[in-house]
Amino acid sequence: MNKNIGLIGSLLPYRGGIARFTTIAHRNLKEKFNLVSLSFKRQYPLFLYPGKSNIEPGYSDYREPDVNYIIDSMNPLSWILACRILEKNKVTSVIIVWWTFFWFPCIAFMARYLKFRGIKILFICENVKDHEETFWKNILTRTVLSMGDAFLVDNRNNAELLQGMFPEGKINIYVKPIEMDYPNPERLLEKRARLELLFCGFVRPYKGLDILLEALLLLDGKDICLTIVGEWWTKDIKLLTLLKKLKEKVEVIDRYVEEEELARYFYRADLVVLPYRDASGTGIIPMAYYYKKPVIATLVGGLPDFVEEGLSGSLVKPEDSFALAEVILEFYNRSPLVMEEGIKKVIKNKNMNWENFCETVIKGLKDMEEKGIK
């Protein structure tokens, strides 16, 4: 296999789970290949970004070593220059991390440019469809992904979606690795209740926070507290009304939280809850497992691939606050600590490590060579 490989994606200093994942993927892959990694000098105009900033706090001047921050999503000249850098370095394949329809003009142009010059494209698909999907978003996504010679996804749901789009597509499933460099908290937070719940990540409609709040109302009288950590990307009157009813039972941290502070909330939590209406995958579950916390998740998207009933957590029907309340009550009546050994087994059995990820990337690259693409 030719060792000259390209990587295109969002890396630190950009914030969010995908940027962190791509950064660590870059670090691991460059030990296996002559890797040429390209990232963005501008991901998108800030007025289009629903959050306060797209830069990881404390990382504004950071640049990952051996990464060329050249791509401006709004400047086609930078797309051409990026492709020429890959050509100059004689790459034979380029790995592109895909997750949002917004990248359509930029990624579609670069993928077509590279394919025209005989360079193969391996897409790592964090999302196969947008969380707030529409007909036209699906068309744009399908158009871009049709340029892929092979695909990597992190769950069976995404694999099935891709297989439906491209019946002859070469698709491999990788396991989302657990990152081993999450910090321990410098100080611990005092527990406020018998059962501490944690909801973590951007607050968006598809994540079903209202379902969780309704479940807590059903458990009124139980010694349970919830912490909501993450920037709110929605203004929902229903959510605000539910929060007023729950009052001191819920703590809201409405901002992007740095890892050291986030570690405090994971340490305090007994249970991480993902009441999603829709999901492809999530980086929250590997983070929860790192901190040895069981997870309640809904039976949507790729979440069932990562939560093993009775070992590392529980699975419930989506959009069902009663079912969610029942499962929370089960954890309330027993110690979630009994699942620590189960979580370790799941991590081991699923090979949630970066070496396994790299092996899957190599398999995807070999699949493209076997297709005889020149």
pLDDT band at 181 (very low <50, low <70, confident <90, very high): confident
Q: What is the pLDDT of residue 44?
A: 78
How far apart are the C-alpha atoms of 149 and 370, rounded to whole Å?
Answer: 11
pLDDT band at 186 (very low <50, low <70, confident <90, very high): confident
Q: Which residue has the higher pLDDT, 226 or 54?
A: 226
Residue 56: pLDDT over 90? no
Question: Residues 103-151: pLDDT tens digits?
Answer: 899 999 999 999 999 999 999 998 888 767 788 888 999 999 999 999 9
Residue 196: pLDDT over 80? yes
Residue 14: pLDDT over 90? yes
pTM of the model: 0.90
Sheet hosting strand 93-98, strand order edge to edge: 67-72, 34-42, 4-8, 93-98, 120-125, 150-153, 171-173
Q: What is the pLDDT of residue 48?
A: 61
pLDDT band at 46 (very low <50, low <70, confident <90, very high): low
Q: Show contacts of 336-345: CB within 8 Å, 24+ apart.
A: 336/195, 336/270, 336/271, 336/293, 336/294, 337/270, 339/294, 339/311, 339/312, 339/313, 340/292, 342/294, 342/308, 342/310, 342/311, 342/312, 343/289, 343/292, 343/293, 343/294, 343/311, 343/312, 344/292, 345/311
Nearby residues of 326 by Cβ (< 8 Å), 6 or more positions away: none
Could you give the domains of the chain?
4-177+353-370 (3.40.50.2000), 195-349 (3.40.50.2000)
Residues in the chain, total: 374
CB atoms within 10 A of CB 85: 15
pLDDT band at 374 (very low <50, low <70, confident <90, very high): very low
Kindly give the residue spans of alpha helices, DSSP state H, lying in the chain: 17-29, 76-88, 104-116, 135-145, 156-165, 209-218, 237-246, 259-268, 284-290, 321-332, 340-349, 354-370
